[in-house]
Structure 1
Amino acid sequence: MRLAIGFVTGLLFGFGLLLAGMTSPDKVRAFLDIAGAWDPSLAFVMGGAVMTAMPLFALARRRAKPVAGALFDRPSTTMIDRKLVIGSLTFGIGWGLAGICPGPALVALAIVPSQTLAFVIPMIAGLMVSAAWRRSASGSGVEALQH
């Protein structure tokens, strides 16, 4: 059941990204270009997503457990630390430079692989390097940087 829900949710999310134009680097760059030819349409997409998610998160908070699964996967902390800020800045800079973020990149990979591989391959490499760094840092006293 959990796999089926994840699959359908992923398809719906991917379709929404396509419909909103989030898989188009040109559209994303136009949204980020507030001093030039600004296209505010993605702000409406984000606003619609927030308005849809807010009541659903409120409903989920009232439940003892998720529909498909034993426990909710909630963050262990809400603290804003150096790791979160650096990660957010890195993500934002990459999004601004490339005009695409990981979710839409995977959707675009299925549609225009020749144009998207130049982003997805380094993205996967970065994820692998980050995971290896976290594994190696966990036993070397660097864990203080991670918390």
Structure 2
Amino acid sequence: MFGLDNDVTCALLGGGLLASATSFNMLMTGRITGMSSLLSAVMTVKPDFRWKLTTVTAIISTALMSYNQLGRAATVTLPLLGERLSLQLFDSSPLPATTVLIGGMLVGFGVRLGSGCTSGHGLCGIPRLSKRSVAAVSVFMSVGMATATLLDKHPLIPKVDLIESLGAALSIHMPKYTPAILSILNLFTLFIWAQKPKEIKEFVNAYVTGILFAAGLMLSGMTRVSKILSFLTVNKNWDPALAFVMASGVGINLLTFNLIFKRSQPLLTKTFSIPPKGELDRRLILGAMIFGLGWGVSGTCVGPAMAISCLADNGLLSLGSIALGMTLFELSQGNLKFKRS
């Protein structure tokens, strides 16, 4: 497109789709589309559980159907520009299960401690000119790149046989169970919403948001662990293409968020549910550092982990380890209590 490299074009268009997902949700409901917040709400059944579950379901369903229709790679023609793009949508995880587990747990713990990840702080925070988000993104990007670069030169994480066996057991070829997975996920989501039939518009909004977000992840290359690691690892083969994803997403949201916030209220709800910008604190910085460390180790953050959970070799392990990290954070804060029988 316009003489740009194929990967850069995909990154810019993918970032645009991610921006459209987050801006659409902001316009309709006034809510931040943060992937770590979505997963946390689904795990703990918080009051906003229904719409967040719907978005998660849409992300997983879209990725799974895309894999079944297009495979790991595809060539598409842009309808308006006549350009042909070569898309590598998915790949096999190049990392041992031990590395995936450790990295995922660090990501899960870090995003909860730091109150956000690449979507919440990056796509939705920086466009609001939040100092906390600017600081968080700067920290986890720096730490992530430093960690991935160090591990590329000095592999410091040994394989643990028990964890490798667990990873192998979880490496099920899920796409062959696509009809069953889609049926279970979507029927359960519809059952949840059937109890609130008057709020069907919110269901549609949440599902569309998930479809757009998943499409942005796939088009930009964020559903490929090797692509993310090639961006985070600074060496002679460094691939800067993914920087254009954030640039495109943040740049578009800077414009759209500014227009949306001029409205008195969103289209479907009565108020904007925007977290206060607040001041920098040690918790934010430490959380961003831990997230960046895990991101550099595993090459996966929350949104992409959802999308590849049923596709990549270590997809289930990746999402499960992030969920485990989030659970450990909640336990450390005393937010989860187990009743004694």
TM-score, normalising length from structure 1?
Answer: 0.84
Amino acid at match of 1:44: F
Equivalent-residue separation in structure 2 for 1:33 and 1:58 (angstroms)? 34
Q: Could you tell me whether the CA contact under 8 Å between 1:2 and 1:69 is conserved in 2? A: no
- Greater displacement, 67-76 / 95-104: 67-76
Q: Which of 220, 223, 238 pairs up with 1:20? A: 220
Q: 1:57, CA displacement in angstroms?
A: 0.8
**Structure 2 counterpart of 1:33:** 233
Q: Deviations over 1:62-96 (max 9, x none)?
A: 11212222221211342111111011111111111
- Greater displacement, 67-76 / 10-19: 67-76
Q: Could you tell me whether the CA contact under 8 Å between 2:310 and 2:316 is conserved in 1? A: no
Q: Deviations over 1:33-55 (max 9, x none)?
A: 12331101101111111122111
Structure 2 residue matching 1:67: 3-state secondary structure: coil
- Say whether residues 1:120 and 2:120 are aligned partners: no
Equivalent-residue separation in structure 1 for 2:296 and 2:267 (angstroms)? 36
**Structure 2 counterpart of 1:55:** 255
Equivalent-residue separation in structure 1 for 2:310 and 2:267 (angstroms)? 29
Equivalent-residue separation in structure 2 for 1:83 and 1:120 (angstroms)? 24
Structure 1 ranges of 4+ moved more than 4 A: none
Q: 1:16, CA displacement in angstroms?
A: 0.8
Q: Could you tell me whether the CA contact under 8 Å between 1:30 and 1:39 is conserved in 2? A: yes
Amino acid at match of 2:242: L
CA RMSD for the aligned pairs? Answer: 1.7
TM-score, normalising length from structure 2?
Answer: 0.38
Q: 1:29, CA displacement in angstroms?
A: 0.7
**Structure 2 counterpart of 1:98:** 298
Q: 1:133 to 1:72 in 2, by over 3 A?
A: farther
Q: 1:132, CA displacement in angstroms?
A: 3.3
Q: Could you tell me whether the CA contact under 8 Å between 2:229 and 2:296 is conserved in 1? A: yes
Q: 1:85 to 1:14 in 2, by over 3 A?
A: same
Structure 2 residue matching 1:62: 3-state secondary structure: coil
Higher relative contact order (CA 8 A, sep 6+): 2
- Say whether residues 1:5 and 2:205 are aligned partners: yes
Equivalent-residue separation in structure 1 for 2:219 and 2:277 (angstroms)? 34
Equivalent-residue separation in structure 2 for 1:11 and 1:57 (angstroms)? 20
**Structure 1 counterpart of 2:285:** 85
Q: Could you tell me whether the CA contact under 8 Å between 2:309 and 2:318 is conserved in 1? A: no
Q: 1:131 to 1:60 in 2, by over 3 A?
A: farther
- Greater displacement, 38-47 / 124-133: 124-133
Unaligned runs of at least 5 residues, structure 1: 138-147
Q: 1:10, CA displacement in angstroms?
A: 1.0
- Say whether residues 1:42 and 2:230 are aligned partners: no
Percentage identity across paired residues of the two chains: 33
Q: Could you tell me whether the CA contact under 8 Å between 1:2 and 1:68 is conserved in 2? A: yes
Equivalent-residue separation in structure 2 for 1:3 and 1:132 (angstroms)? 31
Amino acid at match of 2:229: R
Whose radius of gyration is greater, 1 or 2? 2
